[in-house]
Structure 1
Amino acid sequence: MSVEGTWDLTVSTPIGRIHAVVELLRPHGVLTGTAHGAGEAVPLGDLALDGDLLTWKQAVTRPMRLNLAFAVTVTGDSLTGTSRAGRLPASKVTGRRRPAGVRTDAELRP
């Protein structure tokens, strides 16, 4: 299954919804990724695809310093799953893959 592309994610947390963008690439056959949100870009660690299950870890500093672990199921151009921050309850994650070449207004600003 191909997961490469730009994904618009929504994470439903106890303090509200957080929107992020995840870019997944496969240079030289190795899956890599970067998450963008809250004014920062962070590399995805331990990125793995097993069938339709996509998992990764990332550290964020905004809105607070957290180490997150994601586990999502990819079905075509959508994904659903969870994000977990340590011992905190899991947060629901949903996402849609952007059509190729589509950028957000924020990405178009200089």
Structure 2
Amino acid sequence: MAVDGTWNITLSTPMGERPAQLTLRSDGTALSGTFGSERGSQEFTGGTVNGNEVSWKTMFNGAMGPMELTFTGKVEGDSIGGTVQFGAFGSGSWKGTRA
């Protein structure tokens, strides 16, 4: 499916821009993968795919301690992006391209 693959992404966080790598795997409408940054990587399951729209949650060990990141986004060709909720620390945007 068009969402599957490895993506180089940038998160716009309350503390500035942060690079990360994302690997997505779809199985019907189910989405799983890996989210990784300079603070390590984390596998996730339980995400969803609806056409070119994606959403998932993953845990992240950020500067303020562990938090749940909630991603929603859209794939358009070799570009991906959307919004992310940083636990109780606000939200931001994210975008990237296929690696």
Largest Rg, 1 or 2: 1
Q: Does 1:55 align with 2:67?
A: no
Question: Percent identity over the alignment?
Answer: 31
Aligned residues: 97
1:6 to partner: Cα distance? 0.6
After superposition, the C-alpha distances for 1:59-106 in whole angstroms (9 at most, x for unaligned) are 0113331111000111111012110023433211111111xxxxxxxx
**Distance (whole Å) between structure 2 residues aligned to residue 31 and residue 60 of structure 1:** 18
Task: Identify, as 1 or 2, the structure richer in helix.
Answer: 1
Superposition TM-score, scaled by structure 2 size: 0.85
Larger RCO (alpha carbons 8 Å, 6+ apart): 2
Task: State the match for 2:5 in structure 1.
Answer: 5
Structure 2 unmatched runs, 5+: none
- Measure, in 2, the Cα distance between the counterparts of 1:85 and 1:35: 14
Runs of 4+ with deviation above 6 angstroms = none
Mapping of residues 1-110 of structure 1, within 5 Å: 1-26=1-26, 31-63=31-63, 64-98=65-99
Quote the Cα distance in structure 2 between the aligned partners of 1:87 and 1:61.
14
User: Amino acid of the residue matched to residue 87 of structure 2?
Assistant: G
